[in-house]
């Protein structure tokens, strides 16, 4: 009875391939045997790093069996013709895409191309960076897009806002029953194009079931208007800036995760006052489980007085005794400031996290 070659056992090949990361090594694996071709190509084209789009698109045109392997795609085309070619590819398993369009406006044909891409039924996550002519152009991009899209990141800017749009920040908004039913939304635009659109009856998003909301440091939000639209959120990622003064955390009864970034340009005493104001809006019945604090500039921003004051505030009401506090800093920074959190340390409630937290 002949022995089975371990290199021909599919399960072992798959397990070995999980430890091969570089494109060169994966391409070499595809040449070993027929059994190795599919797992190697699957990993090689799952999230391809593309520098020459014309070459890549020509390859897909002649080797269409590679298309089902593509799950993630970062698109930064040199012109609208290339964008149109990319979006016309019949991706069958694409789940996530990042689209970065350079220039001061969307060239003619860009909206139609993006519409075609965003209608792919397998698409779940979209990140869009672009400059727009007006809000109507933005809304058109999402026309008839895939209903399975659940996670959207926006970094869009409009140069010529439409006239006649009501932007009264004191008028509460109401959730729209139509549009894409999102679970996660990240808004990092220099201007609140995103919030303005969301407040219109014709906006493309349905936020009634939103679970996670992230607001970038350049975005200024009219919270009294916006908060009623996103009451369902369980995770919130914000920057302490001018618009945070109008944020009432009690508007989010399901909030369990909160990440706060502290901009370097705000003086320490001002940051502390803004945090104090923000924390005072928490309901005594809050269910917050995790609080992440991200200083912009290490120990320079997390001075001893700020740390000790935070330790005292976070160790008492309205915070739960079981609240987990995480400092998003380097290990060397953490080693210098953790002694200032004596109460949280005594409870074993203080920890460190590296890089941007991915709660969602």
pLDDT digits (tens, 9 = 90+) for 159-173: 655 443 444 444 444
Give the structural domain span for 282.
234-360
* Domain contains 320: yes
Residue 121, CA distances (Å) to 90, 91, 113, 117 in order: 11, 9, 16, 10
8 Å CB contact between 328 and 301: no
* Domain contains 21: no
Q: Please tell me whether residues 75 and 187 are part of one structural domain.
A: yes
Mean pLDDT to the nearest integer, 51-60: 95
Q: If you write DSSP's letter for every residue of 230-294 in order, what string do you get?
A: GTT-SEEEEE-SGGGGG--GGG-TT--EEEEEE-TTS-HHHHHHHHHHHHTTS-TT----EEEEE
Q: Please tell me whether residues 225 and 249 are part of one structural domain.
A: no
Domain boundary among 189, 212, 230: 230
* Domain contains 32: no
Structural domain tally of the chain? 2
pTM score: 0.85
CATH code for the domain of 118:
3.80.10
Q: Comparing 221 with 322, which gets the higher pLDDT?
A: 322
pLDDT 10s digits, 220-235: 788 888 888 889 999 9
Q: Please tell me whether residues 289 and 186 are part of one structural domain.
A: no
Q: What is the dihedral of CA 280, 285, 289, 294, to 10 degrees?
A: -10
Q: Please tell me whether residues 204 and 287 are part of one structural domain.
A: no
Q: Please tell me whether residues 62 and 189 are part of one structural domain.
A: yes
8 Å CB contact between 120 and 94: yes
Q: Please tell me whether residues 352 and 218 are part of one structural domain.
A: no
Q: Please tell me whether residues 176 and 64 are part of one structural domain.
A: yes
* Domain contains 35: no
Give all strands of the β-sheet with 257-262 in edge-to-edge order.
72-75, 96-100, 125-132, 151-158, 184-187, 212-215, 235-239, 257-262, 290-295, 324-328, 350-353
8 Å CB contact between 341 and 350: yes
Q: Please tell me whether residues 104 and 239 are part of one structural domain.
A: no
Q: Please tell me whether residues 181 and 314 are part of one structural domain.
A: no
Domain boundary among 168, 197, 230: 230
Give the pLDDT score at 265: 79
Give the pLDDT score at 26: 73
């Amino acid at each position: 009875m002949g022995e089975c070659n371990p290199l021909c056992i599919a399960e072992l090949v798959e397990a070995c391939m999980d430890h091969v990361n570089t494109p060169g090594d994966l391409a070499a694996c595809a040449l070993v045997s027929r059994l190795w071709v599919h797992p190697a190509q699957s990993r090689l084209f799952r999230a391809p790093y593309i520098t020459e789009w014309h070459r890549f698109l020509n390859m897909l045109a002649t080797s269409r069996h590679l298309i089902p392997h593509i799950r993630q795609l970062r698109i930064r085309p040199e012109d609208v013709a290339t964008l149109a070619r990319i979006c016309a590819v019949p991706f069958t398993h694409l789940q996530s895409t990042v689209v970065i369009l350079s220039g001061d406006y969307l060239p003619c044909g860009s909206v139609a191309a993006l519409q075609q891409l965003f209608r792919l039924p397998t698409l779940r996550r979209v990140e869009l960076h672009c400059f727009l002519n007006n809000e109507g152009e933005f809304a058109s991009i999402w026309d008839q897009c895939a209903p399975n899209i659940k996670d959207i990141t926006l970094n869009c800017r409009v140069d010529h806002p439409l006239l006649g749009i009501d932007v009264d920040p004191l008028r509460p908004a109401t959730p729209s029953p139509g549009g894409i039913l999102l679970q996660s939304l990240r808004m990092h635009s220099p201007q609140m194009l995103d919030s303005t659109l969301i407040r219109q009856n014709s906006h493309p998003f349905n936020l009634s079931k939103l679970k996670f909301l992230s607001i970038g440091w350049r975005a200024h939000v009219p919270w009294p208007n916006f908060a009623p639209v996103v009451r369902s959120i369980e995770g919130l990622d914000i920057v302490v800036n001018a618009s945070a003064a109008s944020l009432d955390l009690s508007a989010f009864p399901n909030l369990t995760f909160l990440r706060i970034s502290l901009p370097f340009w705000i003086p320490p005493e001002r940051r502390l006052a803004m945090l104090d104001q923000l924390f005072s809006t928490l309901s005594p019945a809050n269910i917050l489980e995790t609080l992440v604090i991200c200083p912009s500039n290490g120990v320079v921003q997390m001075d001893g007085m700020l740390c000790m004051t935070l330790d005292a505030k976070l160790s008492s009401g309205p915070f739960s005794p079981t609240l987990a506090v995480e400092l998003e800093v380097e290990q060397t920074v953490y080693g210098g400031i953790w002694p200032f959190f004596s109460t949280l340390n005594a409870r074993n409630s203080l920890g460190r996290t590296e890089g941007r937290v991915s709660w969602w």
